[in-house]
Structure 1
Amino acid sequence: MKRRAAIGRMAGMVPALLAARYSHATALFENLPLGERVMKGPFQPSWESLKQYQVPGWYQDAKFGIWAHWGPQCQPEHGDWYGRGMYEEGSDHYNYHVQKYGHPSKFGFKDVINEWKAENWHPDELLSLYKKAGAQYFVALANHHDNFDNYNSKYHRWNAVNMGPKKDLMDGWAKAAKKHGLHFGVSVHAAHAWTWYETAQLADKKGPLAGVPYDGKITKASGKNTWWNGYDPQELYAQNHPLSANAKDSGSIHNQWAWGDGASVPSKDYCEKFFNRTIELIDRYEPDLVYFDDTVLPLWPVSDAGLRIAAHLYNSSIKRHGKLQAVLNGKILDEEQRKCMVWDIERGQSNRIEPFVWQTDTCIGSWHYDRRIYNEKRYKSAKTVVHTLADVVSKNGNLLLSVPLRGDGSLDAEELVVVEGVAAWMQQNSEVIFGTRPWKIYGEGPAIDTAAPLDGPGFNEGKGKPFGAEDIRFTTKADTLYAIALGTPADGKIRVKSLAAGSSHYPAEIAKVELLGRGPVNFERGNDALIVQLPDSLPNQEALCLKIR
């Protein structure tokens, strides 16, 4: 889905560019070229105006969403960033592509799109399953860095209605979400196609086709007698521009994600087309949540397109609902920007209770479907998902979990086991998650001391000590405290040190302790800990939830 390494923040650059380029937001707005317009309302396309934002109650209560990070890059079933890696000579994706499809000078990513038919996609069945698993919102991928729109767009002909599945996927997802009572979200990643596809401009350095360019600069004129006759590949690849600095180094893009360090700067036309496509997406499918896979906002700080989209999303939400119900996710936000939108951490967690609601996004496997993970049984377990959820919620966060779909739109058997495992736990313990708020402290236990710091947009997942029975996470609801033990103690006793007699965190008397799924349990409040005796038969092994009054 995204960059595979830490991304530099370019500290100090954004404020300077802000002052230089966007001090006159109103003037910029009034002089836009023909196209979509920002809906009028209380929000203007400026950081100061966006600070009015308040996270809607539904999102604060929801805590858990499921994501279909699904598009044409899932068709090869070979993992994330396939559309870029297939143009990197000698890479895993390149070698697979040459063997399966042929050389990328002859069979490019545009041709992978034509292979994608989504023939076994049944959104109603999938969302029924996700609702059972406890998801309160569902997010569908609207487009990825591959620049292919999974919806009917009048601004972008490379879309799922015109080619590939020849279906309006966003429409199908949105209708299924509404039917099952889930808030609907979209994820938008296409702002980076400009640099992400630059590998498609290159050529092999060795072998029989050395020096023969890949198809990244091919034009509409070459389409005669092809399946894509009449379509311009440059509308998809957007590669009629000079390469970024160090573009032949495949890892350089990670340092250029915020459009610095020698990144090729997108043209105004490119930025405005992205703006128009995204406004069209918001207006047509009316999502409650928009996730951007960008540093701060898309195309920031080389364009104010992201600011305008944010203002439009908020104003249009107010017009539809009578109050602001929209959520906007952005990455690598400073303290002021976190007042304007919801901070998202990729494959990682904060190590404190955050003052503003935030979100972790992660995946049980690869962001784009990888058949090898299924074959090797390497998906995250339901237990890992539950532990992540409890940890995130205890710190004032939400978990957005991607469950990869195969190219045909179906789940594999191993993924189904994971989702059903989460569903079984949720059926007994959902009250410790939904509608809760953080306690005075988020938790206790040895894993806290080994927690890894965030790295760029996140990526600290799994780098600390694994959770165990001594690791406890807390949530609250009204006058009830929940303690979630992230493991089963060998001696059958849960010890909660933070609730010992005389605890400053909980000075009140504890009158009753229940184990969710079993009922009241015996307990003793000693000087060192609250000691809870577990019954012989436990409701589950993923995480044991105590309800304390």
Structure 2
Amino acid sequence: MMKKIKLLPRAMALGALAAISASAMTSAHAESAAGPVKPELKSLQQHFKTPEWLQDAKLGVYTHWGPVTQAIRHHDQGNFGWYGRFMYQQGHAAMEYHKKHFGDPKDVPYTKIMEEFTAEKFDAAEWAELIAGAGAKFGGPVSIHHDNYAMWDSDIHAWNSVNIGPKRDITGELEKEYRKRGMKFLGAFHHGFTYHFYKYARQNGYQGTEAEFAKLYGPVDKRDEKKEFIPRAFQEQWLALVNEYVTKYNPDLIYYDFGLGWQDQDVQYQMYADYYNYGIKEGKEVTVLQKERAPILRSYSTMDLERGRMDELTPYTWTTDTSAGAWFYHPDSSWEDSNTMIDMFIDIVSKNGIMLLNVAPDFEGSIPPEMKSLLKDFGSWTSQNGEGIYETRPWPIYGEGSVGADSGHFKIENSKARKEAKYGGDDIRYTVSKDGKTQFAFFLGWPESEQVILNGFDVKSAGGKVTLFGYDKAINFEVLADGRIQLDIPKLADLPNDFAYGFKFDGFDIQPRKQGLFYQPNSKTIGAEMAAIHGYHISEGENADGQTVINNWTSWWGSVNFLWRNKFKDSDFTLRAKMRNLNDTNELSVKIFNDGGEVVTLQVNPQVTGDEFVYVDLGDFHLNADGVFQIKIGSEEGKFAPRSMEIEAIQIAPIPVQMKR
């Protein structure tokens, strides 16, 4: 039987760091007033800083586990992550599944599933050992999911793991074991959809309409039909739960599933202020992970992408929460292999990101074999290559290769499930030590060539040493005349690992190579065959390699237009052309413009190339807008020598903040 618990009154809920007794209770409202952070935008922005420990950590693990796992434990179609919602929806497969395995929802409601969730094999120490062994530097449970079941010893919310189900403080046990192993602790709140979660239970006359279950299922209010209304009391209950968790378990960071836009602004700001003042009081660097991408939110919190990542290096640190399979474990889940996940991890780190990896225990509380294998592989790889990952920072040129990524939520590129291209030996990602003295290059597959030239940096001093993690001999290298470094790839019967290969560069004077920007997967190459030609004194032809070229350019008024879609607002770019230029009097006029009236003009005297097609720098430019642009290349009267110019392609690459002049 559950103990009777009374929700904190509104005035206290808004401001309270919830506590058990009068002696332990602290008013967060008073704390915020006394502390430096006020629940106001300007104050939040002034006091926000991404924790250095998070920038160093790179890898965290959290666990989706709870009554949902208990419900979907059967082999047939047990894949309903929002089980408590859909088991009440007429015609939904989850309702049919429930009737088959448990009975009619009227007789066996979701609360009965909670009672059956006893977690008999849960061992916090075993979890912590596996997760810390994988190389995770922070971790924690999904503290509360959309089903409104709290995985902690709550004194203000009766539906929790101590009152019903395991009869254990899951969060408290995990916090103790994670901290014992030097890990930071995470509080993950997934109840952003809770108020609407039990809609079908209420609509269809199931348990949700009974008064005694109102604190679980939420009050019925006709104004919530369009998901535009959340009662103030419900918002304050949410705030009280978060503050209680902070007080009890001292999390180093908080994660929110869904956006926070469903709360009134003052409630959101109060949560941030309460938590940031708590961090100041405890001498801890803390942050909030949230899923909105608007720049203003990044000014006082950390952006998280769900099953996604960025397609470029960002000047700010971000996180991605992702999973190798379903969020909640069920026996028929499909799994990404370790190589895919480790490659993804390296790509995320190279772009200033942090991976928050989901591990999904089974209904009894054991880590399934599939997850144990993944954690073991992560641990093996990070123990060998961690020097180039932990406590590093992104290199201004994050990488090179052919496999790119789309930016945003639910962009799980390089996924076997989505049949994307796999990374190979020509896909390289860079990092650098915090002090900037040691460079690292990770090959996401073993190089096929015996010699590989790296395009991401220039070597100014050749007096250094190159080593390969997991290989006990130095790597032979040569610094080429143009400053790039060429590696001799050893022939090995047994590779250092089965996933990705890290090279370390010690004692070199290295700087970013601007030309290396064009080797990044997010650079764009547009061939001459895609160009629009203007003027009858210019035409298409082929070069000696059979490539389409713009040739027979006999008059200055002929021009060529390339269509290009810019994905980045308010960003800098560099432009070059693969071309042949036979006359030193040529001068090109390059105009970049869109239909919105934004125009940038570059004047270029391209270098004389001789008979070979080479890449020629056309200059840097800044664009305020994203969207479709035209790049028009022409000349002016008296500044063009007939039949002296041919263009095979152009390339555009974003310039990272770290390289802006």
Query: What range is the shorter-chain TM-score in?
Result: 0.7 to 0.9
Partner of 2:365: 409
Residue 425 of structure 2 aligns to a residue whose secondary structure is coil
Q: Rate the CA distance shift 1:540–1:67 in 2: closer, same or farther, 3 A.
A: same
> 1:306 deviation in Å?
2.3
Partner of 1:482: 440
> 1:419 deviation in Å?
1.0
What residue identity is the alignment partner of 1:287? Answer: P
CA-atom RMSD in angstroms? 2.3
Q: Rate the CA distance shift 1:32–1:234 in 2: closer, same or farther, 3 A.
A: closer
> 1:507 deviation in Å?
4.4
Partner of 2:64: 69
What residue identity is the alignment partner of 1:215? Answer: Q
Q: Rate the CA distance shift 1:33–1:543 in 2: closer, same or farther, 3 A.
A: closer
Residue 408 of structure 1 aligns to a residue whose secondary structure is coil
Residue in structure 2 matching 1:533, options 489, 505, 508: 489
> 1:425 deviation in Å?
0.8
C-alpha distance in 2 between matches for 1:32 and 1:88: 34
Residue 175 of structure 2 aligns to a residue whose secondary structure is helix
Matched, 1:311 2:273: yes
> 1:269 deviation in Å?
0.9
Partner of 1:21: none
Q: Rate the CA distance shift 1:264–1:239 in 2: closer, same or farther, 3 A.
A: farther
Q: Per-residue CA shift, 1:79-119, capped at 9, x if unaligned?
A: 32222222233333222212111122222211111110011
Q: Greater share of strand residues, 1 or 2? A: 2
Within-5 A mapping of 1:325-474: 325-373=285-333, 378-448=334-404, 451-454=405-408, 457-461=409-413, 462=415, 465-474=421-430
What residue identity is the alignment partner of 2:499? Answer: E
Residue 98 of structure 1 aligns to a residue whose secondary structure is helix
Q: Per-residue CA shift, 1:262-281, capped at 9, x if unaligned?
A: 31411111111111111011
User: Contact (CA 8 Å) 1:178, 1:184: kept in 2 or not?
Assistant: yes
Residue 530 of structure 1 aligns to a residue whose secondary structure is strand
Q: Rate the CA distance shift 1:303–1:111 in 2: closer, same or farther, 3 A.
A: farther
Partner of 1:228: none
C-alpha distance in 2 between matches for 1:264 and 1:110: 27
Q: Rate the CA distance shift 1:116–1:542 in 2: closer, same or farther, 3 A.
A: same
Within-5 A mapping of 1:52-131: 52-76=47-71, 77=73, 78-79=78-79, 80-131=81-132
Q: Per-residue CA shift, 1:173-209, capped at 9, x if unaligned?
A: 1111111111011101223211122122244xxxxxx
> 1:303 deviation in Å?
4.7
Matched, 1:289 2:249: no
C-alpha distance in 1 between matches for 2:82 and 2:454: 44
Q: Greater share of helix residues, 1 or 2? A: 1
Residue in structure 2 matching 1:37, options 8, 28, 35: 28
> 1:494 deviation in Å?
4.5
Residue 438 of structure 1 aligns to a residue whose secondary structure is strand
What residue identity is the alignment partner of 1:368? Answer: F
What residue identity is the alignment partner of 1:305? Answer: V
User: Contact (CA 8 Å) 1:140, 1:187: kept in 2 or not?
Assistant: yes
Partner of 2:243: 279
User: Contact (CA 8 Å) 1:404, 1:411: kept in 2 or not?
Assistant: yes
User: Contact (CA 8 Å) 2:287, 2:302: kept in 1 or not?
Assistant: yes
Q: Per-residue CA shift, 1:370-425, capped at 9, x if unaligned?
A: 2212xxxx222221221111111111111110110111111111221111111111
Residue 238 of structure 2 aligns to a residue whose secondary structure is helix
C-alpha distance in 1 between matches for 2:267 and 2:123: 34
Partner of 2:468: 515
> 1:144 deviation in Å?
0.6
Q: Per-residue CA shift, 1:267-326, capped at 9, x if unaligned?
A: 11111111111101101111101101131x3633x35322211111111111112xx411
Q: Rate the CA distance shift 1:32–1:533 in 2: closer, same or farther, 3 A.
A: closer
Partner of 1:548: 505
C-alpha distance in 2 between matches for 1:343 and 1:118: 33
Residue 514 of structure 1 aligns to a residue whose secondary structure is strand
C-alpha distance in 2 between matches for 1:365 and 1:125: 21
Partner of 2:218: 238
User: Contact (CA 8 Å) 1:494, 1:534: kept in 2 or not?
Assistant: no
C-alpha distance in 1 between matches for 2:338 and 2:100: 35
Partner of 1:215: 207
Query: Which sits farther off after the overlay, 303-312 or 281-290?
Result: 303-312
C-alpha distance in 2 between matches for 1:342 and 1:362: 16
C-alpha distance in 1 between matches for 2:382 and 2:359: 17
Q: Rate the CA distance shift 1:524–1:371 in 2: closer, same or farther, 3 A.
A: same
C-alpha distance in 2 between matches for 1:191 and 1:332: 13
User: Contact (CA 8 Å) 1:380, 1:418: kept in 2 or not?
Assistant: no
What residue identity is the alignment partner of 1:234? Answer: A
Partner of 2:181: 180
> 1:495 deviation in Å?
4.4
User: Contact (CA 8 Å) 2:140, 2:175: kept in 1 or not?
Assistant: no
What residue identity is the alignment partner of 1:290? Answer: I
> 1:126 deviation in Å?
1.1
Q: Per-residue CA shift, 1:208-234, capped at 9, x if unaligned?
A: xxxxx3333233xxxxxxxxxxxx212
Query: Which sits farther off after the overlay, 404-413 or 85-94?
Result: 85-94
C-alpha distance in 1 between matches for 2:455 and 2:302: 33
> 1:169 deviation in Å?
1.0
Q: Per-residue CA shift, 1:238-275, capped at 9, x if unaligned?
A: 14222744xxxxxxxxxxxxxxxx31411111111111
User: Contact (CA 8 Å) 1:75, 1:115: kept in 2 or not?
Assistant: yes
C-alpha distance in 1 between matches for 2:101 and 2:269: 42
Q: Rate the CA distance shift 1:471–1:156 in 2: closer, same or farther, 3 A.
A: same
Q: Rate the CA distance shift 1:30–1:418 in 2: closer, same or farther, 3 A.
A: closer
Q: Per-residue CA shift, 1:135-155, capped at 9, x if unaligned?
A: 110121110110011111121
C-alpha distance in 1 between matches for 2:201 and 2:487: 61
User: Contact (CA 8 Å) 2:310, 2:406: kept in 1 or not?
Assistant: no
Q: Rate the CA distance shift 1:93–1:490 in 2: closer, same or farther, 3 A.
A: farther
Partner of 1:22: none
User: Contact (CA 8 Å) 1:117, 1:164: kept in 2 or not?
Assistant: yes
What residue identity is the alignment partner of 1:512? Answer: K
Q: Per-residue CA shift, 1:4-33, capped at 9, x if unaligned?
A: xxxxxxxxxxxxxxxxxxxxxxxx999958
Q: Rate the CA distance shift 1:263–1:31 in 2: closer, same or farther, 3 A.
A: closer
C-alpha distance in 1 between matches for 2:275 and 2:463: 46
For the pair shown, which has the larger CA radius of gyration, 1 or 2?
A: 2
What residue identity is the alignment partner of 2:395? Answer: W
C-alpha distance in 1 between matches for 2:104 and 2:48: 49
Within-5 A mapping of 1:186-265: 186-203=187-204, 213-219=205-211, 232-242=212-222, 244-245=224-225, 262-265=226-229
Q: Rate the CA distance shift 1:498–1:46 in 2: closer, same or farther, 3 A.
A: same
Partner of 1:225: none
What residue identity is the alignment partner of 1:513? Answer: V
